[in-house]
Structure 1
Amino acid sequence: MSEKGANFYAKLVQKQGQKTALTFTTAPQISWTLHRLYPFLLIFDGFLNNLMWCCDDVCLPFIYLALMKMAVNLGSVSEKETSLLKTVVDTWLGLLSLVFLVLSVTYYISSVLRELKQDEPPTLDDIVVMMENVAYKIERMREDVAEVFKLQRGQIPSLLIVLTPIYWFMARYVISPKDYVTFLLISIATFHSSWCQCTLRLIWRSLFARQLWHMICRWQVRPHPSTDICYNIVHPALEINVPEDLASLPEPQLAVKLRAFIRTEQQIEKAPQPDRPPGYLPITVMIIEYQINENQRKWPLDGWTHNLLSYERTKFTTNNEEGQDWVASTSPWEFQETIERDWFWLDDSWIPHEWIYCDTDWDIKGAKDSLNCYTRSKSWTRSSFRVLRQS
């Protein structure tokens, strides 16, 4: 085949860094134990390859799955409703599949052991690489299973309430428990296949599928925007020296004049404080900072827009009092109109910060956009102050 017509296939590999030789740095007892463990690692790695559909011959996992399905049918040949011909065919196919499975597993194990005896003994580095490959594949499977256990305790009862009637209806009128268990095992066995992953990704592109999944499994209701924005206390009590003529002004006019003094006081706060000059009076103010997050999602055709999914964050959010979760919020420009009368803005306008890029679950990935970034968030901050005590 020419170079232009060559076919290239993706294969599951693990990144292997450059490491120093382990032969002279490992105890002999550990080396002997790892050498005895190497055949079991090879056999277990072959089992994981078939389970994850990443072996050299991608047809083998499908053949094994079909043989196991026909072998399982041996348990239903004694049903009275089945005809004699169907019973004979199921029995013959089941026994034949079972024999093929046993012979295939036996041949694979014997060939691995025979090749190990004929070839050169593996080095300690080869054994460690094989252990890392096995650990990597197990970790990938653990991550898939861990997605199911991310549900919170409060979400499990709602999930059971929704799924129990569906399961009862299917088990009662649609399929038998045996067929249901068989379907579940086949789904688990084919989960890592390329066609199954592609199908799941195509289904996940549907907004209806996403909303249905989060409605059943996470039971999230989109909250209404709140005007009670949490804030960070920058200075609980900052003392500022102002001229006496300014201190006698009404509070709204005093606040306008205080902005320049507060900014100067913040700049020299860490410096040694001089004595109060004559003709000046101390005024104590409290300074807080509001933070509102602007959220966007990336779409294939439109790019970054505020068109978010109904079950996730709103266009503007803020952190709750614990700082561990988000709360729906109004926009910064709407919120600035609802501030209380005894509070005054210290900054002239809202200060935007850099975008923080996240994945589809809003887990932070970094400050730059990449292929695995589907959402992003930007903070808008603005400080305000209030006069606490005036001498």
Structure 2
Amino acid sequence: MIPTPLIQRRRLLQGLGLGLAALSPLARASSPKAPQASKATAAWSAIESAARGQTVYFNAWGGGDTSNAYIAWAADEIARRYGVTLRHVKVSDTADVVRRIQLESAQRQPGTVDLVWINGENFKTLKDGRLLFGPWAQQLPNWPLVDTRLPVMRDFSESTDGLESPWGKAQLTFIADRRQVSTPPRSAAEWLAFARANPGRTSYPRPPDFHGTTFLKQLLLELAPDSAVLAQPVSDAPLAAATTPLWAWLDQIHPLQWRQGREFPASAAEMNRMLGDGELKLSLTFNPTEAAHLILKGDLPATCYSFGWTRGTIGNVHFLAIPANARAPAGAQVVANFLLSPQAQVRKADVRVWGDPSVLKPEVLAQAQKAQGGAASQNLPGLLTETVPVRPEPHASWVSALEREWLKRYGTR
């Protein structure tokens, strides 16, 4: 029998010499023996003690030089501060990690994954299979610093239930060159009007490219008669009702697009190149710091800027989770807590380092940036300077349904 997350947590606490009540919010609130803060402090100290000397195998995407370098920096800091060895297991597809966790759990093998960078359908798969350790995230000492106005309690409409800790955030962001576009489109209707006024100068990546599908989801949130249905698992009738305006919009804009909508850029990276070359007037990204990063590299002119839509753009949070069969759950929690620290979050958000936006409260981040001298990077050309509301991701099941319908309608052109 595979241990449940609750049993896993009890075993860890017993191994630390603590009862389950030591980390229970209800028990802390009602205990007459000691204040809540002192019990939480003692519990965390025990976790840090257990973590010392452990090796944490962190399975995370390894395709980015900046993110890889950041993880290497974090590993050095964690070893120096906590005596925990962090090994970055570089992966190209998190779904492969999920399958490995499933296989090892089914065969009752010791886990080879202690911490995983995850969100969306991969998280839901592990959660549904009761293959995650926890709850633990909201008991981290740095949890009170998290901006809970962000979607940190739900992951693609799935409740996180304390089973994963937020690490960074992403939001659909559009890019234009001020020399070409002084007033950008800020809605689906304005985007269509812009395409009419600028034939052949707009497009979007071809789904199922991630950015192309994200653009479809953004349009769906804007155009669906009842966007609330998107938070529920998809089925045939809601799919047809919700997407009818989307297909009508695409039918109108495709003939106005680059190459009359018969071809599409392969990726957002290709769109950014086309923007830099003047072939397109609009591009997109899922990182509000992307334009600034490309300007620093010389891939975009300094006259480029980032913008959003008036009613908001789709965004999500990426998380860290601990498998139920992890061999170093204490060490994994210590790593996750450090990665939520102001020092680690400020460095990660710095465009010159990585540029992955922080999940901390804005006032906490601003204070930390000032203390660490990192605020200068926030004034770089191309950064998103306006406040754009974050619209939640549809339920994960809408992704494949949207892609399937898009390919059926437009994929053979």
The TM tier, using the shorter chain, reads: under 0.3
The structure whose RCO (Cα within 8 Å, separation 6+) is larger is 2
Which structure: larger Rg? 1
TM-score normalised to structure 2 length: 0.19
